[in-house]
Amino acid sequence: SSSSTVCGQPVISGRIVGGDDATNGAWPWQVAVLRSYYFICGGSLIDKEWVLSAAHCFYNATNPDEYLLIFGANQLLNLSPDVVVRRVKRIILHYDYNGPVASSGDIALLQLSFPVDFTNNIHPICLPESSAEFYVNTNCWVTGWGNTQFKERDTAKPKTLQEVKLPLITWEICNIYYNMVPIQGLTWNPMKADMLCAGYQIGGKGPCQGDSGGPLVCNVQGSWFQAGIVSWSVGCAQRNYPSVYASVPYYAKWISAGLEGRDPNSAALVVSYLNSTVSRGKTSNLALQVLVVYFSYIHSATNPDDYFLVFGAYQLSNLSTDKVVRDVNRIILHYDYIGTYDSSGDIALLQLSSPMEFTNNILPICLPESSAEFYANTNCWVTGWGNTQTDGEKCSLPCLLRPLVCKVQGSWFQAGIVSWGRGCALHNYPGVYTSVPYYTKWISATLEGSNNSNSGSQNAPLLANLEFLLLLALLLTL
């Protein structure tokens, strides 16, 4: 019979403390991840068609066709007839994850090929809000089919799902433990703000190889919430080396974006290029400025059919014959953007209906590295077709569609994107810009994910096929 769709409330109760067999159905969100039919990692069911796991389980191996997911299992070597198997439709790794032990962003979303139905043995875990706090010494639980002891070879994998209760530790104390003895491959203070720590100083209990990606869950007022994702440790349950987990509250917004159908790694890029200087308040002979022609804009106006883009334009009232027009194929808003005038994430990604070729009037802007700094009093330039005065009234929307570019050693780099301000160029109210260096990693991750390419320098002009375009999320959400 089907259970309630309320998350975090298994029908089966009963817990066994400390590294023992779990009762069948006690952890109905537990998922087994198989690659090429071999068990490799754990995961947790968070929705009818989404599983949460660790990025390191799929790093450099993101072909979804290689994976199978098993739901409702208790004994992997003796699967019951009511287990459910699904293929993976899509794998999304967090853009921050870069492979080494203790890397940030060790979180992944797996979209199922087909949704699962909830049963007594298949049920989702609750996800905490980003503001949720799991306090020190809270007793939480880790489950998995990973090794029950740490050995170089012939490691023992259990037939039955294992469970262990562990207390939470502050990441400051966790860093003290890990700093006691230098470990090759770990930096000083390896614990970061996006991580949780749990375990006993004396060791003896904790996750091991094969448990990666599995859930760390805590009971909050009668419902189970996922606090962490098994990420890394030194050995398995060794003294002074508690296990480390990716923090689910820290990545709550990233997860929500994926569940809502938005790309959680969406980034932003404005394509604009200047080959000559522009005097303040005067017309310019710019090489490229992008015009977005919108038929209507309302709150959450993300229907790509409502927009088209004009490239290579100079005079909007008298478009030249060599201008290029493209429809919009897809619009991706940054998940941090919430619609307020001063919201973070005020950027969006537009995919063109077809690629473009560069010309004298259509060229890309350079993208700065994330470490780039544009110093105070640097003279940069803003271009656009917006109003030249407000007369005390609110500036019309097109005045926002302007890039802020700075010349560095002969090349123009995008420093910012006009985001918000009071009026337009009013005394004591400078304009505020979205920082492009801050979002460089997001930009690169999105381009790599969309183009399936890891080549290219961040200092080189981007978008060789001009297939992607960044514009303000504000345009799409007013």
β-bridge mates for residue 292, sequence order: 309
Residue 399 amino acid letter: C
123 is catalytic: no
212 is catalytic: yes
Catalytic-labelled residue, pool 56, 94, 123, 334 = 56
> CB within 8 A of 440, min separation 6: which ones?
367, 368, 369, 370, 372, 458
Candidates 149, 116, 92, 103; CA nearest to 31 is: 116
Dist CA 3 CA 116 (whole Å): 13
Dist CA 171 CA 194 (whole Å): 10
Residues in the chain: 478
Catalytic-labelled residue, pool 96, 106, 194, 211 = 106
Token pair, residue 181, equals 């003895």
Helix (H, G, I), strand (E, B) or coil at 174: helix
Going along 177-287, which residue ranges are E strands? 195-198, 215-220, 223-232, 243-247
Token pair, residue 306, equals 């409502």
Token pair, residue 221, equals 């007022």
Dist CA 475 CA 348 (whole Å): 9
- Strand 84-93 versus strand 38-47 pairing type: unpaired
Token pair, residue 337, equals 């953007």
Strands of the 381-382 sheet, one edge to the other: 381-382, 403-408, 411-420, 432-435
Dist CA 259 CA 92 (whole Å): 11
**Residue whose tokens read 């087909």:** 114
Catalytic-labelled residue, pool 212, 231, 243, 266 = 212
Contact 71, 45 (CB under 8 A): yes
Candidates 39, 250, 49; CA nearest to 130 is: 250
- Strand 195-198 versus strand 243-247 pairing type: antiparallel
Measured at the alpha carbon of residue 344, what is the angle toward residues 340 and 350, in degrees to the nearest 5? 95
Candidates 242, 197, 272, 216; CA nearest to 43 is: 216
Report how far apart the first and last C-alpha atoms of the chain are (Å, whole number): 46
Dist CA 51 CA 49 (whole Å): 7
Active site (catalytic) residues: 56, 106, 212
